[in-house]
Amino acid sequence: MSPDLPPVVPSVTAELVEALSPRLRKRLDAGITKLLARPVARDGDTVRIAVDDETDVVLHAPGGTVTGADAIHCGCLLAPDCLHRAAAASAAPVADAAETAGAAREETVTRETAPTPTGGARPAETETATADQRAAARAVFDAAAAVLEAGTDGAGAVLQAELLHAAHTARLAGLPRASAAAISVVTGVRAARSADPGYRLADLAGALVDVLGVAHRLPHATGPDLTALRGTVRQPYHPDGSLRLYGLFSEPVLTATGYAGAVTWTADAHGRLYTVSDVAPGGPARATGAADRAVRIGDTSLTHRELSRAGLAVSGATVSPAGRLGAGAGVRAVRAPGVSWRSEPLDRLWAVPAAEQVARALNGGQDLLFLEVTVTGTVRETTGDCLLADCAGVALRLATAHDDPSLPYRDNLRLLAAARGRLLRIVARLAPGPLPRALLLAAEHPTDPAARTDLGLDRLQHADLPTGAAAPPAAVVPTGDEAPLHLLRRRVHQAVPGGRGVLALTASGSGDGVRLRRLGLATAGDLLDALHAAAADRSRDPFGRLLPADTAHFARSWLAAALYTDTVERALCANAWGATTTEAPATALAPSTAR
């Protein structure tokens, strides 16, 4: 996947790949690899790929996105039925209408209306999915199961196009959540196959859990559960009157789907959080430069970097359920004074106990944590160094929020290690796991508590550190991943890159299921055995030839194991922080139904 190419909507990629002959489909992955190595030139909304000295592939992207197959042209003799057009679409990022980019264009303001009296009317029948929605959900499940069957190593452009086609069908059927989840899987697969430094195996596994879980549950869902599984295409914005907001911090946005920008977090006098975003197609340069662009709300000329330390007075505000401020024509905003983190009203955000904040995040609420910590050192993990900190008696690990080298997260984390023994207020995002862990986003200045640093945008210097301070060497300590649950989790993760085959090979002679049951995790042991059995289940016809594998059975077994692992890890996370959580709603299927 090339960030130099404009995003292409899923239906275009699916259409171009489907139009290829069987012979060209077999050559598509090799064609993509060759095309990615060719020079790319951009001129406004037109992107040109030099296939050779005489042939170019041209992508027209008005508004930054390729929205039709006729917007991709090739100058070769076989066009328009050539391989180059499908390869270009498959090499480009996947455009998603649900992305945060274009929020102002998608903004719809809804107003509260009084409920209509029902009187003695009979209650309406419980809503169920339509026949088209059930068919679309099954198509998404089957396509995602095929990707899981092959693993990222075997999920080439053809399987990706089939999942994109299913995503497009789901969106047309009114299932935007399933469509977005499917697109996330394709994006993750492309990042894995292209060795993108931003690729994370756990993220792709989570995307597969989401798409398979939604597609599995939707045909049988009713009422509010069905509404949640369908999702929404547009963010509904509600009028919220006048607001007085205080800047908290800004963070860069850099996604694998080819979008970049910045999001600034603010809070009102009651501690409710609001965001102002500027995210559009782009790469690392846009992520680092967006902080100095003016916020798109009202007539204010404040940049995101300035707003993170100042304030905003808004009249006629419109707000989405997630707290994003609308930028409609009727919104007015002017600059107002800001306050420090240790002054009211921002001070109250840090007054909430950490356990209560973690419980809120695990129960589906805001995942930002406002913590007061004492830096105690660093620890070396397989993914890099982490800060060790004490948070009211809890040993906390603070990791970088993004590993892209163009963002200063990692450099700033190394310098903050020199503030050992100092009490700092920080803003972090919860990272659920068996150990207390969070992703560090912003922190107080090491020597000036009245100032703060946006760790993804600002760069600390050695002069900012306490006099004579030096970062301690990173200690190598156990990561805490030796809990018995890792025996199941590693098999769940192994299936993502290697597919069914890797689990079929490890099924024989593996005593992990017995070990899990011996250690008291009987359900985990049963799920692991069922997963291995599903991977190795291949029937033969009377002539001894292998019959097609039951991809749906393997996908359900994998989904049950993944769901169980996520649920137990959620409970371990709550226990590590001393938090109390409500019972997690089922997101896929009960373990007993996987067999």
* Alpha-carbon gap, residue 90 to 1, rounded angstroms: 8
105, part of any domain? no
- The separation between CA 524 and the C-alpha centre of its own chain, rounded to angstroms, equals 26
Choosing from 464, 498, 531, the residue where a domain stops is 464
pTM, entire model:
0.80
Clarify whether residues 320 and 265 are in a common domain.
Answer: yes
In the prediction, which pLDDT does 475 show? 55
Q: Are strands 56-60 and 259-267 parallel, antiparallel or unpaired?
A: unpaired
Does a structural domain hold residue 148?
yes
Answer yes or no: are the C-beta atoms of 228 and 96 closer than 8 Å. Answer: no
**Residue 480 covered by a domain:** no
User: At 244, which amino acid appears?
Assistant: R
Q: Is residue 475 part of a domain?
A: no
C-alpha angle 80-82-85 in degrees, rounded to nearest 5: 80
Secondary-structure percent of the chain, ordered helix, strand, coil, rounded to 5? 40, 20, 35
Whole-angstrom distance, CA of residue 15 vs CA of residue 155: 18
Residue 302 lies in a domain: yes
Residues 355 and 428 in one domain: yes
Residue 117 covered by a domain: no
473-503 residues labelled b (16+ CB within 10 A) or e (exposed): ebeeeebbeebbbbbbbebbbbbbbbbbbbb
The predicted structure's pLDDT at residue 585: 43
The reply to whether 398 and 309 lie within a common domain is no
Tally of domains within the chain: 5
Amino acid identity at 217:
R
- The pair of structure tokens assigned to 273 is 């959080």
User: Are 508 and 583 contained in the same domain?
Assistant: yes
DSSP-derived pairing of the beta strands 384-391 and 236-254: unpaired
Q: What is the CATH number of the domain that holds 416?
A: 2.40.50
Helix axes 223-230, 176-193, angle to 10 degrees: 40
- Compute the distance between CA of residue 484 and CA of residue 487 in angstroms, rounded to an integer: 6
Is there a single domain that holds both residue 314 and residue 400?
Answer: no
- Based on the domain organization, do 257 and 320 belong to the same domain? yes
Residues 158 and 204 in one domain: yes
E strand segments, 320-402: 332-336, 368-381, 384-391, 394-400
**Residue 446, both tokens:** 């090491």
Domain boundary among 199, 230, 261: 230
Residue 193 and residue 295 share a domain: no
Which residues on adjacent β-strands are paired with residue 244? 313
Whether 65 is covered by a domain: the verdict is yes
Residue 104: the pLDDT is: 34
Domain end residue (candidates: 187, 212, 230): 230
Q: Which domain holds residue 298?
A: 237-336
pLDDT at residue 483 in the model: 58
394-400 and 437-444 as β-strands: parallel, antiparallel, unpaired?
parallel
Q: What is the pLDDT of residue 471?
A: 57
Beta bridge partners of 56: 50
Task: Tell me: do 388 and 420 sit in the same domain.
Answer: yes
Give average pLDDT by consecutive 10-residue segment, the chain, 595 residues. 82 91 90 88 88 88 87 88 90 68 40 42 67 94 94 91 93 91 91 80 91 94 90 76 92 79 92 89 83 83 90 88 82 89 93 92 90 88 81 90 87 87 92 88 88 90 71 52 76 92 72 86 91 83 76 93 91 86 48 35
| 253 and 192 assigned to the same domain | no
Do 353 and 455 lie in one domain? The reply is: yes
Distance of CA 253 to the CA centre of its chain: 11
E strand intervals along 126-272: 236-254, 259-267
368 found inside a domain: yes
Strand partners, 528: none
CA separation for the pair 389, 435 (Å, rounded): 13
Same domain? 410 vs 352: yes
